[in-house]
């Protein structure tokens, strides 16, 4: 699958500091927040001083930043519904219980449970504990996205490619949705590809189809909400 930057594929949890927000909040920061679904944060892990090296690997010289700490949280949906992308706040404290750093960050998790992190927090001292909380999300029902000007082009003797433009189906940022590309083939069969979509309005869409362009009779992309836990 080949999509423009800003499109999320898969079920991973992610978090980004306010200066590096995800596609939704970056594009719709003024959107009204309504609803009660959110993420419950627990089991904070602190990396101080912060460095980006993955666990188990040797720290690269020059990458350690003593002015910042990294914090990671276990994150779980507060209910059975996907909360969408939300604002969260991390608070770090020193051994005396004094606040040494705070950071507001945007986060989303397609899985009902996982981890957010690492969030970088500027600190005034060494943090030894952390706490985090998230605001309510605003995940509206409906398809969330439509693909306009969807068409099929030749890509090779036995392959073709579906192309179009991703548009938001409503005024507000839709957050992540599950989508399905369905190509009806001349032999009566269908090629079906399912994916997760989280993209800015106007993003280019592109997906390969394992059939020559003359064998593709029709193509469509449909999207729906992230399923509730236990649904279906």
CATH code: domain of residue 213: 2.60.40
- Please report the pLDDT score of residue 13 as a whole number: 54
- Please report the pLDDT score of residue 21 as a whole number: 40
Residues 177, 123, single domain; the answer is no
Residues 203, 172, single domain; the answer is yes
Residues 158, 54, single domain; the answer is no
- CA distance linking residue 60 with residue 169, whole number of Å: 45
Helix boundaries (H) for the chain: 23-27
Classify residue 139: in a domain, yes or no.
Answer: no
Residues 164, 130, single domain; the answer is no
Residues 185, 164, single domain; the answer is yes
Residues 91, 180, single domain; the answer is no
Domain span including residue 198: 145-224
Residues 19, 130, single domain; the answer is yes
- Please report the pLDDT score of residue 170 as a whole number: 86
Report whether 51 contacts 192 (CB < 8 A): no
Report DSSP state, residue 213: G
- Please report the pLDDT score of residue 168 as a whole number: 97
| Count of structural domains within the chain | 2
Classify residue 181: in a domain, yes or no.
Answer: yes
Residues 129, 149, single domain; the answer is no
Classify residue 2: in a domain, yes or no.
Answer: no
Classify residue 98: in a domain, yes or no.
Answer: yes
CA distances from 41 to 79, 126, 205, 226 (A): 13, 21, 34, 20
- Please report the pLDDT score of residue 121 as a whole number: 98
Report whether 191 contacts 107 (CB < 8 A): no
Residues 6+ apart with CB under 8 A from 139: 35, 37, 81, 82, 83, 84, 175, 225, 226
Among 103, 134, 165, residue at a domain's last position: 134
Report whether 181 contacts 160 (CB < 8 A): no
> In a structure prediction context, what are the per-residue pLDDT tens digits for the chain, which is 232 residues long?
333 323 333 344 555 544 334 444 444 433 444 578 999 999 999 999 999 988 889 989 889 999 999 999 999 999 999 999 999 999 999 999 999 999 999 999 999 999 998 999 999 999 999 999 999 998 989 999 999 999 999 999 999 999 999 999 988 899 999 999 999 999 999 999 999 999 999 999 999 999 999 999 999 999 999 999 876 5
Residues 156, 125, single domain; the answer is no
Classify residue 5: in a domain, yes or no.
Answer: no
Residues 90, 180, single domain; the answer is no
Residues 185, 123, single domain; the answer is no
Residues 175, 100, single domain; the answer is no
């Amino acid at each position: 699958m080949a999509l423009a930057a800003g499109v999320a594929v898969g079920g991973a949890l992610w978090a980004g500091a306010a200066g590096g927000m995800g596609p939704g909040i970056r594009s719709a920061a003024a959107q009204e927040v309504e609803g009660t679904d959110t993420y419950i944060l627990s089991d904070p892990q602190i990396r101080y001083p912060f460095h980006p090296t993955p666990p188990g690997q040797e720290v690269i010289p020059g990458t350690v930043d003593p002015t910042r700490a990294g914090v990671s949280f276990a994150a779980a949906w507060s209910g059975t519904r996907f909360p969408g992308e939300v604002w969260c706040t991390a608070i770090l404290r020193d051994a005396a219980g004094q606040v040494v750093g705070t950071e507001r960050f945007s986060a989303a998790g397609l899985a009902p449970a996982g981890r957010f992190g690492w969030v970088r927090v500027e600190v005034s001292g060494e943090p030894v504990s952390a706490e985090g909380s998230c605001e309510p999300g605003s995940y509206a029902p409906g398809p969330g996205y439509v693909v306009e000007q969807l068409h099929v082009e030749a890509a090779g003797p036995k392959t073709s490619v579906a192309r179009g433009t991703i548009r938001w189906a409503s005024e507000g940022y839709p957050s992540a949705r599950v989508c399905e590309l369905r190509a009806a083939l001349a032999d009566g069969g269908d090629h079906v590809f399912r994916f997760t979509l989280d993209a800015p309005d106007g993003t280019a869409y592109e997906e390969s189809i394992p059939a020559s362009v003359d064998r593709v009779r029709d193509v469509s992309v449909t999207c729906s909400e992230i399923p509730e836990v236990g649904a279906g």
